[in-house]
Structures are given as C-alpha cells and as structure tokens.
C-alpha cells in the first residue's frame, strides 16, 4: 500500500492551477477573442486603437487612465523583474485578455513544478498578437467576450442596434467586471509571502454606500458623442481617476478635469484635525496595501519659525515575510478610514499660540521605493513591453508621480 502511494507520488505531474488554487477568475487571462464579428459579415480586430477609431471620446479618456498604463508603469515592470514574481499571474490582471498573452493559460494548465508557482507548462497562444500586451486593461478586457458560436461580441450597456459590430446587451456583466480584479477574494494566499489583499468590494458592501456600483462613482456621466460625428448624449467617462495619482505628470495635472474627487474632508480646530472619509464608498485608501495618507501638522510662531510638528500615517502596515525561511506575510496594522468614518486627530503640538498648518499627502509610492524601482535591470521581455521606458528612467525620478497633496490649510491660534 505504502509502496503504491510512493509510486503514484513519484509519477504524479505537478498540480493544475485549479488543483492548486481553486476556482478564481484571476488565475487565467480573460477569454476574449482577438476579433469581434461584424453584423454585415467579416470581423474587426479588438485593439484599443481600432475601437478608438470610431469611439474617440472613450479612447481619449482611456488612453490617459491607469488602466491603459497598467503595464506602462515603472513600478509594475520593476516588480516583474524580481526573480520571485510569477509574471503570468501579474499579467492576468494587468494585461488580461488572451490575445495579449504569448502563452495559453487555462484552469487545467499545470505548474512547471509542484514546489514553485513561477513558471507554467504552457503552449504558444495562436491568438497572441505582438504589441498588444502593452495595452494593459484594454477595451476588450471589459467589453469583448465569446458569443454562443465562439465569435467575438461587444458587451454593451444599452443594446444599440446601430452598431456595425455584434452587441450583447448585458449591463450587469459590465458593472460586475470591476470586482474580478479589484476584489478577487479577500485573503487568498498565493504563496505564504504573497497574499492577495484587495478588498475594495467587501469594504463597499460593509459601509453606508452598499449597493452602489463602482461605475456609479468611477465612471461619471458626461455629454459626449458615442462615435465620431454622433450627437452628444449622456455617456460614461472612461477616466477612472481613482486616487488622482496618474502615471504621468500630465495625468496628475488633469486629474480633476478627468473626474478626480478627493474622498477625504478635512476640518481644522485648535489642536484638532477632523478627517472624514466623506466620498469613497470603501476604505481610504483602498487597493494597493502600500498606499497611505500622510497628515502633517506644524505649529509656527509669528516669524514663521517652527515651534512643533507632528504627523499621522493612515494606511496598512505589512510584514512581507521571508520566502527563504517561510515566514508568511501578514498585516501588522490597519488604521485606514472606513467608509463614512469621522476621526479626530489631536497632533502633539505644545503651546496654543502661533499658526497651525496642516497638509495631507496621498502617497502611492515612497521616494525610497521609487529610487529602488528605477535601479532595477529589466530583461529583454520586459523592455519590449514599454520601449519608451529608458527615457522615463533617464528623467529624474522626482518627475514620476508618486504622491499628491490633497489638503492644505492653516489656522491662526493666537499671537506668539
């Protein structure tokens, strides 16, 4: 008996993705065919620029969004360059459709070995088109799926009969598409040092905005033309301004125009700073566990000299574990503002005279981490994903947006 077990173990192939991790959408790329069927016959390729040829307003919005920059990002590529990152898995959400991927990955794809998730046993993907990986979260990630006959169709919110391409009316599918990447399932452990910790939908469901969709806040309506030359009507913007820290300086400068609204309200009273998560239906910050707010209070005398200063960090802290010793990653603290939460912070500033200045900075990446990213060497495969990267890295890292100031205010307490 024990002999048999030994033999079967010896011959066993490494597990499939489904065996190892169960059933999660993010384990495989989205099965979106490389073309959609045209109503009059023939087909249309699903590159963003092709869709954008007719849907110009949507394309312009999307081009400046972080979805379009999900691969064109110094931090993302630098993380991928680390030897312990499962690139295939990162790309499942950052370059998510099958034509963007060189290899075919399905739930029955096997890991290359039982004790590592870094590589898979894959075949060349016949639908792969060079150059498409860089499109990041492209139109097709949300809009293109297979029809019952296997041909590509466009998932639409209205079911227009005026489109030259097939349309499947499915507003619920479109509204629900966000969650598969932004809330893939709380606390899934990919490896002990790599937990998946995006819980935006769970945070939303637990708060006062439960029932609202991500689309309601992140895709505000605006009057525009659905296709070139059409009369303007109320359509959804495709900017996803989010936390307002776009990946380019221009994106940061235009964030408000593209719909960025700070989720935070700040009011000042003598020695008290009231912070309210007034507009984000989820925690502030949400998403990437490395995002945080830095609240800084400074007390100055009438001549401007600093009398005292204090600061508060609002975010998560993590011990990222140690792959070598097997110490698992774990969250060590979380003082984020939950949806609707009102928190009064009393900075330790001695004396009740002078002027109190309060600044709140939203940070997605610290300057130390940014410098580390810039120093990473990328292999040819990663370099090909963003040919313009060398020029971005040649500019001072300070030009790469990492944080924005979301509040600045002063309160006179009394002459010194």
Q: Looking only at residues 232 through 251 of this chain, which bind ligand HEC when binding is defined by CB under 6 A?
A: 235-236, 238, 240, 242-243, 245
Contact partners, residue 185, CB within 8 Å, separation at least 6: 24, 196
Nearer to ligand HEC, 66 or 355 (CB): 66
Q: What part of residues 258-297 is at the interface with ligand HEC (CB under 6 A)?
A: 261-264, 279-282, 284-288, 291
Closest CA to 188 of 23, 19, 364: 23
160 lines the binding site for ligand HEC (CB under 6 A):
yes
55 lines the binding site for ligand HEC (CB under 6 A):
yes
CA atoms in the 13 A half-sphere facing the CB of 308: 12
Q: What part of residues 311-370 is at the interface with ligand HEC (CB under 6 A)?
A: 362, 364
| Residue of the chain from 7, 13, 84, 85 that contacts ligand HEC (CB under 6 A) | 85
Distance CA(332)–CA(316), nearest Å, equals 8
Closest contact distance (angstroms) between CB of 307 and ligand HEC is: 30
Contact, 259 vs 237, CB < 8 A? yes
Q: Which stretch binds ligand HEC (CB under 6 A): 2-10, 91-99, 117-125, 297-305?
A: 91-99
| Residue of the chain from 199, 209, 298, 403 that contacts ligand HEC (CB under 6 A) | 209
Q: What part of residues 169-208 is at the interface with ligand HEC (CB under 6 A)?
A: 169, 171, 174-175, 177-184, 198, 200-201, 204
Contact partners, residue 304, CB within 8 Å, separation at least 6: none
Q: CA angle, 321 as apex, 315 and 325 as ends, to 5°?
A: 175
Distance CA(167)–CA(156), nearest Å, equals 6
C-alpha distances out from residue 345 to 4, 266, 295, 321, Å: 65, 11, 9, 31
Contact, 309 vs 70, CB < 8 A? no
Q: Which stretch binds ligand HEC (CB under 6 A): 103-111, 156-164, 324-332, 345-353?
A: 156-164
| Residue of the chain from 16, 50, 338, 357 that contacts ligand HEC (CB under 6 A) | 50
Closest contact distance (angstroms) between CB of 313 and ligand HEC is: 14
Tokens of 220: 């505000």
Residue span 122-151 as binding mask against ligand HEC, x where in contact by CB under 6 A, dash where not:
---------------x-x-xxxx-------
Q: Which stretch binds ligand HEC (CB under 6 A): 15-23, 90-98, 300-308, 317-325?
A: 90-98
Closest CA to 271 of 191, 351, 198: 351
């Amino acid at each position: 008996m024990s002999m048999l077990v030994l033999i079967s173990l010896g011959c066993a192939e490494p597990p499939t993705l489904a065996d190892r991790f169960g059933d999660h959408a993010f384990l495989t790329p989205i099965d979106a065919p490389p073309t959609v069927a045209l109503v009059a016959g023939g087909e249309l390729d699903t590159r963003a620029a092709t869709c954008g040829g007719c849907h110009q307003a949507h394309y312009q919005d999307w081009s400046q969004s972080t979805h379009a920059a999900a691969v064109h990002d110094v931090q993302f590529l630098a993380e991928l360059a680390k030897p312990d990152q499962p690139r295939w898995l990162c790309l499942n959400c950052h370059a998510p459709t099958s034509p963007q991927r060189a290899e075919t990955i399905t739930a029955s794809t096997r890991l290359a070995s039982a004790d590592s998730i870094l590589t898979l046993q894959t075949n060349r993907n016949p639908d792969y088109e060079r150059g498409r990986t860089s499109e990041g979260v492209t139109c097709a990630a949300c809009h293109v799926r297979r029809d019952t006959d296997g041909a590509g169709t466009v998932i639409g919110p209205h079911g227009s009969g005026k489109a030259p391409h097939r349309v499947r009316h499915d507003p619920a599918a479109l509204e629900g598409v966000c969650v598969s990447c932004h809330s893939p399932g709380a606390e899934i452990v990919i490896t002990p040092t790599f937990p998946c910790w995006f819980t935006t939908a769970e945070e939303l469901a637990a708060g006062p905005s439960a029932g609202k969709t991500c689309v309601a806040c992140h895709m505000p309506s605006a009057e525009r033309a659905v296709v070139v030359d059409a009369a303007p009507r109320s359509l959804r913007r495709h900017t996803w301004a989010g936390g307002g820290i776009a990946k380019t300086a221009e994106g940061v400068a235009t964030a408000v125009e593209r719909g960025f609204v700070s989720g935070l309200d700040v009011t000042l009273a003598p020695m008290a700073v009231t912070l309210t998560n007034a507009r984000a239906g989820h925690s502030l910050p949400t998403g990437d566990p490395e995002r945080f707010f830095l609240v800084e209070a400074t007390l100055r005398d009438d001549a401007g000299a600093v009398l005292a200063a204090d600061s508060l960090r609002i975010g998560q802290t993590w011990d990222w574990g140690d792959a070598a010793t097997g110490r698992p990653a774990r969250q060590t603290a979380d003082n984020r503002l939950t949806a609707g939460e009102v928190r009064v912070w009393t900075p330790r500033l001695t004396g009740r005279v002078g002027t109190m200045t309060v600044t709140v900075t939203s940070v997605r990446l610290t300057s130390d981490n940014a410098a580390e990213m810039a120093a990473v060497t990328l292999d040819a495969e990663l370099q090909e994903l963003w040919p313009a990267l060398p020029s971005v890295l040649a500019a001072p890292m300070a030009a790469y947006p990492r944080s924005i100031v979301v509040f600045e205010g002063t309160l006179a307490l009394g002459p010194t």
